């Protein structure tokens, strides 16, 4: 249970925790809610005060100051970018969400708020899952786009990402909380089925199956990873054969891979287009390998790469690793990996749900960035920085949680 007796709101600083809770709650909900959450988060350093303490907390957290350095690279990249000023500012604005992580580390200093924020996120994810089931059952109107028919408040990629992580966290609770084991397990099953059986976002499929392996690894070590692979094979097969939505999506993906050929024109599928995007991104990177072509430069450089071909233009390669390397070169790509590594290293000093949540979050975003530009994207990027900032900002004193 969470002791809420002392969570009073008497001073401006007392509002920091509730704002973090609202920011976490808003993540799976309509994008406008998340935008409000970010605006409110920007007020928290002023509400908190104690500026020296805030800076000290940032300095003591490697992911926090590495996030600052990473964003600073994008500012430097803006100097030599070939993109128009408006486009540079647009990309900088999207990557500015990286600053939310150190901000939360600086101001959120009690684990009680972290636990409440995680509860709030899981409740909101449950609302999204409920809407998804209601659309699937015909209780409320489906989206006209058949690819998004059963999603809730955001697109199928975002929805699958949030629900996969939420199902993982609930499953972890089911394993470690004997008093509410069946309650958490039932919720994990409902959330997971929404990802695997109803939603047709392939990113969610891959993420949730990877998180299943992580769960078994956390519980049983290397042997558990092998058991997890068996469990994933079973779950994947069940989804493929029992869900018409998953069956159709996976089958179509395989067919698209077989049909796609570089140089024979665009394959009008998400799979074919992604392969095309990756190919041209590699061509750009090979010409500007060290520092890239600057912040926001991807659309211009991609247009040059496809000039004279039938391949279509894009402003986003749907892969954060390629997007980073095009803009900031191998220097920026290295910083992206250092950022991820620092987050994973931080889990060594954590225990209980904090440790499990951060490990799952790093794996979730790491896989998601293979198929989408999830740091650039509004929803997934916000999901990552808000939850990781909440976890890292509130770990002090979390010594008694079960491992």
At 235, the pLDDT band (50, 70, 90 cuts) reads confident
Within a domain: residue 258? yes
The answer on 195 and 138 residing in a single domain is: yes
Is 398 a residue whose pLDDT tops 50? no
Within a domain: residue 218? yes
Q: How many domains does the chain have?
A: 2
At 220, the pLDDT band (50, 70, 90 cuts) reads confident
The answer on 213 and 100 residing in a single domain is: no
Within a domain: residue 292? no
CA distance 114 to 142: 34
CA distance 284 to 277: 11
**What was the pLDDT predicted at 402?**
38
The answer on 226 and 162 residing in a single domain is: yes
Q: What phi and psi values does residue 243 have, to the nearest 5 degrees?
A: -110, 115
Within a domain: residue 272? no
Read off the pLDDT of residues 297-318 as tens digits, 9 standing for 90 and up: 999 989 888 887 777 888 889 8
The answer on 338 and 201 residing in a single domain is: no
- Whether the CB-CB separation of 326 and 297 falls below 8 Å is answered with yes
CA distance 283 to 289: 10
Q: pTM score, two decimals?
A: 0.88
The answer on 258 and 123 residing in a single domain is: yes
The answer on 261 and 122 residing in a single domain is: yes
At 282, the pLDDT band (50, 70, 90 cuts) reads very high
The answer on 128 and 98 residing in a single domain is: no
Q: Once rounded to an integer, what is the mean pLDDT over residues 57-86?
A: 93
Read off the pLDDT of residues 165-218 as tens digits, 9 standing for 90 and up: 999 999 999 998 888 999 999 999 999 888 888 887 788 888 998 999 999 888
Q: What phi and psi values does residue 304 have, to the nearest 5 degrees?
A: -65, -40
**What was the pLDDT predicted at 248?**
67
- Pick from 194, 184, 192: nearest CA to 210: 192
The answer on 259 and 203 residing in a single domain is: yes
Read off the pLDDT of residues 80-119 as tens digits, 9 standing for 90 and up: 998 999 999 999 999 999 999 999 999 887 778 888 999 9
The answer on 133 and 179 residing in a single domain is: yes
Is 51 a residue whose pLDDT tops 90? no
Q: Which of 245, 265, 285 is the last residue of a domain?
A: 265
Within a domain: residue 273? no
The answer on 168 and 218 residing in a single domain is: yes
Q: Which of 223, 245, 265 is the last residue of a domain?
A: 265
The answer on 181 and 81 residing in a single domain is: no
Q: Which of 265, 282, 307 is the last residue of a domain?
A: 265
**What was the pLDDT predicted at 224?**
82
- Whether the CB-CB separation of 363 and 388 falls below 8 Å is answered with no
> Which H or E run contains 122?
helix 111-136
Residue 224 structural domain: 118-265
Within a domain: residue 176? yes
CA distance 15 to 178: 33
The answer on 231 and 185 residing in a single domain is: yes
Within a domain: residue 137? yes
Within a domain: residue 93? yes
């Amino acid at each position: 249970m969470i002791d809420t007796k002392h969570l009073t709101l008497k001073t401006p600083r007392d509002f920091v925790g509730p704002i973090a809770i609202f920011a976490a709650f808003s993540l799976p909900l309509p994008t406008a809610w998340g935008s409000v959450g970010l605006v409110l988060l920007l007020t928290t350093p002023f509400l908190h005060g104690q500026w020296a303490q805030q800076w000290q907390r940032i300095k003591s957290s490697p992911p926090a100051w590495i996030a600052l350095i990473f964003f600073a690279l994008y500012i430097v990249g803006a100097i030599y970018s070939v993109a128009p000023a408006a486009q540079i500012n647009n990309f900088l604005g999207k990557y500015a969400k990286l600053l939310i992580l150190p901000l939360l580390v600086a101001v959120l200093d009690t684990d009680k708020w972290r636990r409440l924020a995680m509860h709030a996120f899981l409740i909101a994810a449950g609302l999204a899952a409920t809407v998804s089931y209601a659309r699937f059952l015909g209780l409320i109107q489906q989206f006209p786009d058949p690819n998004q028919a059963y999603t809730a408040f955001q697109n199928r990629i975002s929805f699958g990402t949030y629900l996969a992580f939420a199902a993982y966290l609930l499953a972890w609770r089911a394993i470690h909380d004997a008093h509410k084991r069946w309650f958490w397990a039932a919720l994990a099953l409902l959330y997971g089925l929404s990802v695997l059986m109803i939603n047709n976002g392939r990113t969610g499929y891959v993420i949730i199956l990877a998180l299943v392996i992580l769960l078994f690894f956390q519980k049983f070590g290397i042997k558990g990873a092998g058991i997890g692979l068996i469990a994933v094979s079973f779950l994947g097969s069940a989804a493929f054969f029992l869900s018409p939505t998953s069956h159709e999506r996976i089958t179509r993906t395989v067919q698209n891979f077989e049909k796609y050929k570089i140089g024979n024109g665009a394959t009008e599928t998400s799979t074919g287009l992604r392969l095309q995007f990756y190919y041209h991104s590699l061509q750009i990177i090979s010409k500007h390998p060290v520092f890239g072509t600057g912040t926001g430069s991807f659309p211009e450089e991609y247009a040059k790469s496809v000039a004279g071909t039938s391949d279509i233009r894009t402003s986003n390669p749907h892969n954060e690793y390629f997007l980073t390397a095009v803009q900031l070169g191998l220097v920026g790509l290295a910083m992206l990996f250092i950022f991820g590594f620092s987050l994973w290293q931080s889990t060594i000093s954590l225990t209980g749900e904090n440790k499990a949540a951060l490990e799952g979050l790093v794996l979730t975003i790491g896989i998601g960035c293979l198929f989408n530009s999830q740091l650039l994207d509004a929803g997934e990027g916000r999901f990552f920085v808000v939850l990781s900032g909440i976890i890292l900002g509130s770990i002090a004193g979390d010594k008694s949680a079960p491992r």
